Structure 1
């Protein structure tokens, strides 16, 4: 058996395990503001620009509409967003923050700091991890 097929020599496994670990660190923090991690990501995009189409959100979050639609439906049920059809093109669904959704921004502002503190690593290490991750993702997105 070659060493290339040993789990301990794979890049994919620690990345996969780290993604799960990151979700586990976010979960208790986000539970306090009644969001799941994917919902938190969608809200961050909407806090940057309050009204966006489902397609725009999908592009920014790298999610298809089949994944995004149920997520947005749950955010709407919680009262954080509203979804309406465009008057110029009924196929286009607009997602807009509600007052409650805008108000959640203040509560969520402490999430990044709490998350970083939970990891128990330096900010420099986090920046290195993000830089490498962004480089790999950007190369794949450009293909």
Structure 2
């Protein structure tokens, strides 16, 4: 599972010209799943993301987490995070989880984020989406948790 986190002042996602998700201060998450991803990866990353100390305190240091600043999440599914680009010029997406399973995992991920007491807006899984955001900082962090044992 890969998540690209961007700290934002505001963000929105639209489908066919209609805004379907919008947040104020918080984070945008681009979320991708690969073969073998399960609830274990979801639980780990939900914990890491909600507790990430990436927001500034009164002294300007990144010491506060999303809940402490009452921030919101805009979660966008993005299978292209698993693009294989080593061969040729056309990316391959064979490492992305099959859509049926990825949708189940994406829904579980967003549900578990909400269970942490965070407002979560989402895009539409599998749709052609337009995402607009004002990156704050900029702060961009990539999280990855693999079902494969690390060496």
TM-score (normalised: structure 1): 0.28
Higher fraction of strand: 2
Bigger Cα Rg: 1
TM-score (normalised: structure 2): 0.27
Q: Which has the higher contact order (CA 8 A, sep 6+)?
A: 2
